[in-house]
Structures are given as C-alpha cells and as structure tokens.
Structure 1
Amino acid sequence: MNVAKPTRIESIDILRGIVMVIMALDHVRDYFHIYAWTDNPLNLQTTTPALYFTRYITHFCAPTFVFLSGVSIYLQSLRKTKPELSTFLMKRGLWLIFIELTIVSFAWSFNPNFERFPLGVIWAIGISMFLLGFLIRLPYKIILGLGLLIVFGHNLLDYIEASNGFKGGFWMDLLHSSRWSSYQIIGDYNLIIAYPFLPWLGLMLMGYCIGKLFAPQFDSYKRKKLLTQMGIGLLILFVILRSFNIYGDPEPWSQQQNGLYTFFSFINIYKYPPSLLYMCVTIGCVLLLLPLFENLKNRFTKIMIVFGRTAFFYYILHLYLIHILAMISFYIHGHTLAEIAEGESIFRWKFVVPGEGFDLFGVYAVWIFVIICLYPICKWYDTYKTKHKEKWWLSYL
C-alpha cells in the first residue's frame, strides 16, 4: 500500500499539469490571436475547426482543476483533523480571493488604478474552499448529497433566469445568474462577476467525495474500474440529455451547414456558469483519464507532474509572462501607452489592439515559448517546496 500511494497522487498531478499547460493556450489566444477581441472562437458562423478546437479544449481546464482540488482536499483530510482542515480551508480560501482581487486582477489588466476587479476562477476556488471549510465538519454522505444536488439541480435556475422580466441582482448573479455582470463599487471602480460560485462549489464537493477512491487502503483495480464506469456514465448522460435539448444547458444545439458543425453545436456547452452538461463532458473525460495516468511514467508525465505540483505558482507566472509578451508586441507594432483603448475591455487596460495579432500558428508558437520558459522556474520551485516542507507558507502558494 505504501508503494501505491505516490502513484495515485502522481496521476492527479499529471492531469492537473496537463490542464494547466492547456489553459495557457487559451490565455495566449486572448492576447495574441488576431480575432480574439473581435469574434467568439465558438461562433459557428465564423469559426474554423482549428480555432474551435483551440478554444474548446480549454473548457476542460477550470472544471478539472476545481474537481481535483476537491480530491486533494479529501487526501488532506486523511492527514489532518477536521478542525485543522476546516481552519486551513477557510484561511486559504480567503487568501485566494485576496490574490484574485489584487495580483491576478493586475496581471490581467496591468492597470495600476485597479478599476476592474474580475471574480474569475481563483475566486471560484477560493470561495468554494472557504465554504467547504464549514461543510467539512458534516458527515461524508451529507457532503455527497449536497454536491449531487448542486451539480445535477442547479440548472433548474435556468428556467427562472430565462423568464420574462427576470432581474437577478447582485446576490443572484454571484450565486448563479451572472453573464460577466458588472457592478459599480464606487466611482470608476467595478466588480466583474465572471464565475458565479454555486456550480463550482458543487463540483469541488464532488471532487472531495471522489477523493475517497484515492485513499491508500482503496483497492487499485476497483478504483480504476469505478472511475471508468463513472466517466462513461457521465458521457452517456451528456449525450442523452443533450439530444433532447430540455435540461442541463441553457443553450440548445441546432442543425448547422454540415455534419461537422452540427457536431460542434451539439458539444458546445455553457461555461459561465458551468452547466450540468459542461461538467458531464469535462469531468467524464477526467474520470476516464485518471486510471490511464495512474501507472504511466515517461518524460512527458514527469514534466506534467512539475506543472501539476506547482499549479498556483505557475498560474500567476503564466498570466504575467503572457501579458508582458503582449506588451512587448504592442510596442514593437509602434503603439504607445496613450493608444490603449480605455473602456473597450472589462479589464479597462490591455496591451491588445482588436483585429491586430497572429494567426493560430503564431498563437501556438507563443504558447510553446511560454511553456518552455516556465518549466525551469516551476521545476526550481517544486524542488524548493520538496526540500522545505517545514515552511508553512508554502501551502498557500
């Protein structure tokens, strides 16, 4: 059993590392693709298969990271008492929210005036951890039931939100309704709700409950079998619910100009907030991949483990590196600071000119460059963490 434990944790780190690397592709596209700020890459009237895939594959990043965070929290519960874990989750949750509103907010905008405060994925993880800090004291079955209720039931709110005259307001937007809603704090300062937290909380609770399968005493063969069965089950559920266009996603699919684009419409599910079908597709694939990575060891997996073990550190660095590269490109193209179009973006400042940028080949080239630059830094940090486990503050990075 002592031999199996590291393998199971490594399979989680491998998958987490993969989605972190893929996530950088989407953010590079945001800053460098020629149509990033003029069109939606999932717009079936204008997109191409390559562009659609480039955006769609990144749908797997946020839910995978949130889900695996829940798994990791369960594994921590095997080493800590409930009061210890509860306190840690609440403190780390509040810390992540603070980081979202400061370091991450600035990374996206480079606006020293801090006029926009986007509540993104780090906020969603932070508030979910904070709430789980309270829920962790409940019995396992109640946490499981609550997670199932949120994940499978939250799309009932779609019918309320789609009704005539519906006005959600701040708290409803924060919970579920927001479509990047903006709320004025004071003067020019606004809060942007990109990630309503309720579905993300449900997903983290489900990850926590699935974490039981990764306990040291759990049989490896049985775990792989259960994960595979659940993964297939979620994908089948997606196909069934999506076919009827009745429940699970607020955006129905429709026939398009050809079979490929009809397929694109069928799999095009809603992320803000993450719908049930969005979670079925993404987590269904996650559950199928985890058993495959459990005993897989090669050069690629070793690299992904580094990114997976330094995920939050990597997340912060990659935002700053990509934006700095975009700023360099901005000035190389002859632009000046005065040309930044204030008000054009929810982030107010951005060293991006809509309609100016690279094709997909250029985007992928920048993406690869970013990953190559970040790997040695993350490798150093991973080694530092391993050698300095006694430093309490490392658990917050």
Structure 2
Amino acid sequence: MTTTIQQRILSIDILRGVVMVVMALDHVRDYFHIYAWTDDPLNLETTTPALYFTRYITHFCAPTFVFLSGVSIYLQSLRKTKPELSVFLIKRGLWLIFVEMIIVSFAWSFNPAFERFPLAVIWAIGVSMLLLGFLIRLPYKVILGLGLVIVFGHNLLDFPEAAPDFNGGFWLDLLHSSKWTSYQIIGNSKLIIAYPFLPWLGLMIIGYCAGLLYSPQFDAARRKKILTQMGMGLLVLFVILRSINIYGDPVAWSPQRSELYTFFSFMNIHKYPPSILYMCVTIGCALLLLPYLEKLENRFTKIMVVFGRTAFFYYILHLYLIHVLAMISFYIQGHTLSQIAETDSIFKWKFVVPSEGFSLIGVYAVWLFVILCLYPLCKWYDTYKTNHKEKWWLSYL
C-alpha cells in the first residue's frame, strides 16, 4: 500500500513539475520576445503556428496547477482533522494573497514604490484556499455539487457581460467579469484584477473532490479507468460545446483563411476568466496524463518531481530570475534608464524597447537557461524540506 500511495503522489508531483516548467516559457516570452508587447501571440491575423503553439501550450499550466492543488488538499485531509485542515487553508490562503500583493508584484515590476498590485494566479489560489478552508466542513456531496455548479454555470454571466454598456463594478470584476481591469486605490497605486476568482475556486473544489480517487479504497486499475473516462468525457464535451458555438466560451470561433487557422480559432479559448471550454480541454488532458505518469519513471520524471515538490519556491525564483536576465540584456544592448518602457500593466517598468527583442529560438534558449539555473536550487530546497519536516513554516513555502 505504501508503494502505491507513493506512486500516486509522484504522478501528481510529476505533472505539477511539468506545468511549472512550461509556465516559465510564457513568462520568458513576455520579457524577451520581439513582439511580446506589440502583438498578441493568439492574434490569428498576425501569429505564426510556432508562436501560437508557444503561447497556447502554457494555457495548460494554471488550471492544471489549481486542480492539482485541490487534489493535494484532499490528500492532506486524509491525515488531518477537518478543523486542522480548515485553519491551515485559511492561513495559507491569506499568506498567498500577501505574497501576490508584495513579493510577486515587485518581481513583475521591480518598482519599489509599489504602484501596481496584481491579483493574478497566486491571488486566485490564495483566495480559493481561503474559501475552501470554510467549505471543507460541508459534506462531500455538497462540496462537489457546489464545484460543479460554479464550473459549468459561471459562463452564464457571459451573456450580460457581453452588453456594450456593461459595467460590472469592482465586486463583479473581482468575482468574474474583469479582464485585467485596474482600479486606483492609494495615490498612484493601482489594483489590477487579472484573475477573477470564482471559476478558479470552482476548479479547486473539483480538484479537491477528485482527490477521493487517490484515497486508499481506490486501487490503481479502478482509478486509472475513472481518470481516463473523465478525461475523455471532458474532451468530448469540449468538442460538442465548441462546435455548437453558443455556450461555454465568450468568444466564438469562426472560419479562417486556412484549415489550420480555422483550427486555431476553434481552439482559441478564454483564460481571463477561464471558461468551461478552457477548463475542459486543459483538465481533460491532465486527467489523461495522470494514469500514465503513475507507471513512468526515468531521468525526466525525477527532474519534474523536484520542480513539482518545490512549486511555490520555484515560482517566486523564476519570476525574479527572468526579470533580472531581461534587465541585464537591456543594459548589454546599450540602453539607459531613460529608455525603460513604462506601461499601465502589472509590469509598470519594463526593461525592453518596443519592437526589440529575441526571436522564438532565442526565447526558448533563455527558457532552457532559466530551468537549468533553477534546478539545483530547487533540488537543494527539496532536500532541505525532506530533512526538516519538523519545521512548520516549510508547509507555507
């Protein structure tokens, strides 16, 4: 039984590690690609297949991570009482919100004046954990029902939000409507809502409920069958809903200049906030991978386990490292402080000159360099955590 449980946990850590590594690719592209700040890589009028794929593959990162966070919370419930787990989730949720507002916001901007406070993925995870800390006291079926209602029902809000004169206001933007809306708070400081939390909460709840499949009463064959059926079911649902083109995503697909670009339009789904279709295609693929990863053990999976076990540590480090590398590149090219681009986004200051940057090959090279730099640090931290399990504060990192 111990070996089986260990394999299950490793499969979760492997997949979490994979999405963390892929996530860094998108952030490198943000800072280094020549068109990162002059065009959208998913703009079908200007994108190329390679650029589209580079951006699209990173769609799988945030939803998979949030879903697996829910699974991990359920696994914690197998060794903690509900009151203990509830208190832990509330504390960790508040901690993650603080990290987003201070540590992550500075990583994006390098602005000591803190004029940008982004509510992005760490915020979404934090507020979802905070609320799940209260919800786990409810019966399992009630929690599952609530998660399903949120995930499959939240796109009903797309219809009123599509009105030309729609203005949801702060609270509805925070809940669902915002598309990187910014709000002036104190002085020149702005709160930027990148990740409205309601769909992410629903996804974490679904992940928590799916954690039941990793409890001792499920043997490997039964779990593999259920995960495969669920994964295939979500992908079939994606194809059906997307083909109908009425419900499930606020942006309809349309025929394009070629079959390939029509396929790109069909697959171009909404992330801010994550639509039903976005979650179906990303989580559907994740569920199909999980059974396969349980039996896979090689050098690659051992490396991914390290990143998966140190995901939060890795996330913070990779943001600072990428930004520092962008700053170094900026000055090496002969630029000065006066040429730093000032934006209205979460970056505020950006060490780039518009229309100047690397090709995709250069982006991939920087990405690989970032991963190679971070692996030994994550390996050290993973060993430290393993050897110091008595330190309570490590559970928050």
Instruction: Please indicate the TM-score interval, normalised by the length of the shorter structure.
Output: over 0.9
Matched-pair contact (CA < 8 Å) for 2:19–2:64: yes
Q: Which residue number in structure 2 is paired with residue 26 of structure 1?
A: 26
Shift of 1:275: 0.1
Deviations 1:190-223 (A, max 9, x none): 0000000000000000000000001123111000
Q: Which residue number in structure 2 is paired with residue 38 of structure 1?
A: 38
Shift of 1:341: 2.7
Q: Which residue number in structure 2 is paired with residue 286 of structure 1?
A: 286
Deviations 1:115-152 (A, max 9, x none): 00010100000000000000010000000000000000
Matched-pair contact (CA < 8 Å) for 1:177–1:196: yes
Amino acid paired to 2:142: I
Say which is worse superposed, 215-224 or 282-291, in terms of deviation: 215-224
Matched-pair contact (CA < 8 Å) for 2:67–2:206: yes
Shift of 1:367: 0.3
In structure 1, how many angstroms separate the alpha carbons of the residues matched to 2:374 and 2:51?
Answer: 25
Matched-pair contact (CA < 8 Å) for 1:2–1:216: no
Matched-pair contact (CA < 8 Å) for 1:327–1:351: yes
In structure 2, how many angstroms separate the alpha carbons of the residues matched to 1:363 and 1:137?
Answer: 46
CA RMSD of aligned residues (A): 0.7
In structure 1, how many angstroms separate the alpha carbons of the residues matched to 2:173 and 2:359?
Answer: 35
Moved over 4 A (4+): none
Shift of 1:3: 1.6
Q: Which residue number in structure 2 is paired with residue 228 of structure 1?
A: 228
Shift of 1:345: 3.7
Is residue 276 from structure 1 mapped to residue 276 from structure 2 by the alignment?
yes
Map 1:130-209 to 2 at 5 A.
130-209=130-209
In structure 2, how many angstroms separate the alpha carbons of the residues matched to 1:354 and 1:302?
Answer: 39
Matched-pair contact (CA < 8 Å) for 2:117–2:346: no
In structure 2, how many angstroms separate the alpha carbons of the residues matched to 1:353 and 1:63?
Answer: 32
In structure 2, how many angstroms separate the alpha carbons of the residues matched to 1:286 and 1:347?
Answer: 30
In structure 2, how many angstroms separate the alpha carbons of the residues matched to 1:185 and 1:20?
Answer: 32
Matched-pair contact (CA < 8 Å) for 1:124–1:200: yes
Q: Which residue number in structure 2 is paired with residue 295 of structure 1?
A: 295
Amino acid paired to 2:52: Y
Q: Which residue number in structure 2 is paired with residue 359 of structure 1?
A: 359
In structure 2, how many angstroms separate the alpha carbons of the residues matched to 1:353 and 1:86?
Answer: 47
Matched-pair contact (CA < 8 Å) for 1:64–1:282: yes
Shift of 1:344: 5.1
SS for the counterpart of 2:350 is coil
Matched-pair contact (CA < 8 Å) for 1:59–1:282: yes
SS for the counterpart of 1:34 is coil
Is residue 10 from structure 1 mapped to residue 6 from structure 2 by the alignment?
no
Matched-pair contact (CA < 8 Å) for 2:343–2:350: no
Aligned sequence identity (%): 81
Which structure 1 segments of 5+ residues have no match?
none
Q: TM-score, normalised by structure 2?
A: 0.99
In structure 2, how many angstroms separate the alpha carbons of the residues matched to 1:346 and 1:20?
Answer: 20
Amino acid paired to 2:152: F
Matched-pair contact (CA < 8 Å) for 2:230–2:284: yes
In structure 2, how many angstroms separate the alpha carbons of the residues matched to 1:164 and 1:327?
Answer: 40
Q: Which residue number in structure 2 is paired with residue 212 of structure 1?
A: 212
Shift of 1:337: 1.5
Q: Which residue number in structure 2 is paired with residue 62 of structure 1?
A: 62
Q: Which residue number in structure 2 is paired with residue 108 of structure 1?
A: 108
In structure 1, how many angstroms separate the alpha carbons of the residues matched to 2:341 and 2:30?
Answer: 16
Say which is worse superposed, 250-259 or 341-350, in terms of deviation: 341-350
Shift of 1:16: 0.2
